[in-house]
Amino acid sequence: MVIDGITRAESAAPSENEFQGIINEMNLLLTLIGCTAILLTNHLAEGESYTARTMVDGLIELEDVMDGVRAVRQLVVLKFRGSGYLRGAHFFEIGREGLGIYARVEARLATPSKVPPPRTGASSSASRGSTR
């Protein structure tokens, strides 16, 4: 489920406690029906603390940035509870196939590939060279 304008809903709530109650009830309902929600908001200003920001499991910022003379889309994971996400910017694109995220080199190298151990047994004496 995608919910747009969560900051507007927060500002319309009678109090911060009432808004927290609404978020908690929504979270309970979504959990009961097995649904994930994406709450859309405007860019959060520095130093401002929105209640919804502290109550969610993940915060992902999407933005357009300039890379030299071309505009690219960038994704930054600000918070993702219970995961070992790679901090920093990741480039992405939206195409016919959906959302494509390009992993940075650090992400690909985070789990080194496994090199098989050297074989032991008969082949090891051949590799040392036999004197017979």
pLDDT tens across 29-49, in order?
A: 999 999 988 888 776 666 555
CA dihedral sign of residues 121, 122, 127, 131? positive
- 50 and 9 within one domain: yes
Establish if 116 belongs to a structural domain: no
Residue 52 is predicted with a pLDDT of 67
The pLDDT assigned to 96 comes to 94
The pLDDT of residue 8: 78
Look up the domain containing 18 and give its range.
1-56
**Best CA proximity match to 83, nearest among 52, 110, 65, 112:** 110
pTM flag (> 0.85): no
DSSP code of 129?
A: -
**Residue 51 falls inside a structural domain:** yes
Task: Tell me, yes or no, whether 45 and 76 share the same domain.
Answer: no
Question: Is 17 inside any structural domain?
Answer: yes
In a domain? residue 128: no
Residue 128 has a pLDDT of 47
> So what's the pLDDT on residue 122?
52
What confidence score (pLDDT) does residue 85 get? Answer: 79
Q: What string of H, E and C letters represents the secondary structure of 97-115?
A: CEEEEECCHHHHHCCCCCC
- Claim to verify: residue 52 and residue 66 sit in the same structural domain: no
Same domain, 67 and 103: yes
Q: Give the residue ranges of the chain where pLDDT is below 70.
A: 43-53, 107-108, 110-117, 121-132
Going along 46-126, which residue ranges are E strands?
58-67, 70-80, 89-95, 98-102
Residues 73 and 93 placed together within one structural domain of the fold: yes
> What's the structural domain count of the chain?
2
Same domain, 32 and 63: no
| Pair 64, 98 in one domain | yes
Tell whether 5 and 51 lie within a shared domain.
yes
